[in-house]
């Protein structure tokens, strides 16, 4: 039977490699090999290869390249700017309106680039630049941009939820629906905080509403807005699965790109697909390496050790979920989200099953917690991304980010304490 010392070895070696800035996929693979060479787990090359291949060989995982490619094509076609202009025409005249536009745009595009860090680097750079051009101070602009970037992976389509669903063997469509309400609560909380900031600091209102501008930007934006509507509406209506939604969204984006917008050249399309394949390969290698690491964790019976340790503290599902959320938050500070999901899901699932916590509920709580960890100093990845794309110092970003943790943490606590926040919509849809 494995002991706590072995658990510390599994975690310690991985974190040591990661803190030395070894790419996460290599850190996972090296940790697995080191553990096989230094413990009683035998080194079996064929088993290593089979485990990595089977871990990434899933039909559901096809949704990842499809959604990634859809997001990349939308960016290449300039649809990000089109939707941003429409949102600005709608709420720009409100005091602090561009901050609300920042949040709404993050909700609409909802993580189709794959990760919150990618959202912050891509869409976030556009949002930050627009706010600065309108006279918002850099601290407020970067804080709104960073906090809104973590909403994407919670609202469908979400690559982290797909990864979790594959590992936990639960419905991706149900997970997508379950993430909607918590995601909206987070967005609403951030918008309330932005409204308070705008009134206290006396930010200028934009130009008064123009029916002509609203109509013009709406005409340009409606075909683009059809992509997220098609994805969410199709899954809600039971018309297609998450993987099928990815394929349909990609085809739809290619169609509107040629019919309604300036069509991309073949060179641009091929460049976009090349970028998509590179990102997909990177994510797939992480999943494969994490599958091996997770297999070794299960083989060493570490989930049972952890389950016993946790249940000795309390058998109350709420206390257990709070304890696990605390662990996930710390992990989210240091480990890439996809890797954290693939490593920790097999560890925590036995505990979840023992305490009758819904795996759908746990999955959404897990993603929210990891996302907040990405935004938290000193190691939060999004902080470094924001520093790189905006030029604002890490100290300034961290200082201005502090108030924005409040609505995010409130949303997380609500999701943990009241499972219906996550499960209500799936139950209404007859999915949970």
Residue 126's pLDDT is what? 75
Q: d(Cα 228, Cα 225) in Å, to the nearest integer?
A: 6
Q: d(Cα 371, Cα 28) in Å, to the nearest integer?
A: 20
Query: What is the average per-residue pLDDT within 395-401?
Result: 89
pLDDT beyond 60 at 176:
yes
Residue found under tokens 């379950």: 178
pLDDT in tens, 195-237: 898 888 877 666 677 788 888 888 888 888 888 788 878 877 7
Report the percent of the chain where pLDDT is more than 70: 92
Query: What is the average per-residue pLDDT within 349-361?
Result: 88
Q: Are 368 and 182 in contact (CB under 8 A)?
A: yes
Q: d(Cα 177, Cα 431) in Å, to the nearest integer?
A: 9
Q: Are 279 and 68 in contact (CB under 8 A)?
A: yes
- Ordered DSSP codes for 70-116: HHHHHHHTTHHHHHHHHHHHHHTTSTTHHHHHHHHHHHHHTTTTSSH
Helix (H) or strand (E) holding 130: helix 123-133
Q: d(Cα 269, Cα 76) in Å, to the nearest integer?
A: 8
3-state secondary structure of 376: coil
Q: Where are the domains of the chain?
A: 4-428
Question: What letter would DSSP give residue 62?
Answer: G
pLDDT beyond 50 at 97:
yes
Residue 69's pLDDT is what? 84
Query: What is the average per-residue pLDDT within 264-279?
Result: 84
pTM above 0.85, yes or no: no
pLDDT in tens, 291-325: 888 788 777 777 777 777 777 777 788 999 998 89
pLDDT beyond 50 at 2:
no
Closest-CA residue to 211 (of 294, 332, 90): 90
CB atoms closer than 10 angstroms to residue 190: 27
Number of H helices, E strands in the chain: 22, 0
Residue 48: C-alpha distances to residues 162, 185, 297 (Å): 24, 42, 13
pLDDT in tens, 34-62: 878 776 677 778 888 888 888 777 777 78
pLDDT beyond 90 at 418:
yes
3-state secondary structure of 315: coil
- The radius of gyration of the chain's CA atoms, rounded to the nearest angstrom, is 22
Two structure tokens written together for 403:
């108030």
**Of the given ranges (46-55, 88-97, 168-177), which has the lowest mean pLDDT?**
88-97
Report the percent of the chain where pLDDT is more than 90: 16
CB atoms closer than 10 angstroms to residue 13: 17
Q: d(Cα 347, Cα 344) in Å, to the nearest integer?
A: 5
Q: d(Cα 414, Cα 393) in Å, to the nearest integer?
A: 32
Confidence of residue 117 (pLDDT cuts 50, 70, 90): low
Confidence of residue 182 (pLDDT cuts 50, 70, 90): very high
- Using the CB atoms, write b or e for 394-416: b if 16+ within 10 Å: eeebbebbeebeebbbebbebbb
pLDDT beyond 60 at 114:
no
Two structure tokens written together for 10:
């599994």
**What is the rounded average pLDDT for all residues in the chain?**
82
Query: What is the average per-residue pLDDT within 133-140?
Result: 84
Residue found under tokens 């907040």: 372
pLDDT beyond 80 at 429:
yes
């Amino acid at each position: 039977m494995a002991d706590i010392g072995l658990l510390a070895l599994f975690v310690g070696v991985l974190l040591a490699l990661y803190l030395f800035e070894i790419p996460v996929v290599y850190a996972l693979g090296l940790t697995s090999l080191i553990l096989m060479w230094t413990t009683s787990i035998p080194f079996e090359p064929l088993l290593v290869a089979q485990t990595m291949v089977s871990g990434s060989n899933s039909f559901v995982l096809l949704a990842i390249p499809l959604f990634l490619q859809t997001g990349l094509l939308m960016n290449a076609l300039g649809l990000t700017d089109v939707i941003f202009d429409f949102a600005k025409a709608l709420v720009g005249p409100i005091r602090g309106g561009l901050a609300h536009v920042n949040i709404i745009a993050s909700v609409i595009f909802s993580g189709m680039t794959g990760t919150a860090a990618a959202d912050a680097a891509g869409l976030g750079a556009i949002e930050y630049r627009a706010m600065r051009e309108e006279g918002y101070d850099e601290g407020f602009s970067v804080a709104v941009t960073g906090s809104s970037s973590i909403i994407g992976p919670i609202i469908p389509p979400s690559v982290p939820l797909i990864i979790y669903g594959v590992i936990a063997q639960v419905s991706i469509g149900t997970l997508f629906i379950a993430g909607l309400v918590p995601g909206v609560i987070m967005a609403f909380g951030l918008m309330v905080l932005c409204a308070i900031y705008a009134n206290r600091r006396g930010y200028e209102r934009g130009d008064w509403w123009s029916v002509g501008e609203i109509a013009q930007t709406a005409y340009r934006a409606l075909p683009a807005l059809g992509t997220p509507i098609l994805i969410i509406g199709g899954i809600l209506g039971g018309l297609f699965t998450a993987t099928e939604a990815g394929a349909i969204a990609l085809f739809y984006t290619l169609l509107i790109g040629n019919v309604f917008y300036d069509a991309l050249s073949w060179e641009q399309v091929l460049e976009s697909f090349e970028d998509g394949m590179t990102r997909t390969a990177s994510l797939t290698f992480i999943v494969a390496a994490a599958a091996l690491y997770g297999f070794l964790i299960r083989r060493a019976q570490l989930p049972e050790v952890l389950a016993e340790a946790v249940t000795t503290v309390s058998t109350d599902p709420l206390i257990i979920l709070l304890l696990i959320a605390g662990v996930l938050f710390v992990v989210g500070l240091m480990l890439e989200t996809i890797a954290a999901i693939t490593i920790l899901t097999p560890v925590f699932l036995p505990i979840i099953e023992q305490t009758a916590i819904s795996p759908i509920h746990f999955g959404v709580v897990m993603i929210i917690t990891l996302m907040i960890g990405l935004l938290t100093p000193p190691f939060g990845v999004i902080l470094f991304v924001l520093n790189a794309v905006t030029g604002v110092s890490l100290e300034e970003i961290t200082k201005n980010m502090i108030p924005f943790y409040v609505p995010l943490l409130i949303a997380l606590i609500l999701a943990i304490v009241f499972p219906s926040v996550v499960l209500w919509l799936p139950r209404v849809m007859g999915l949970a």
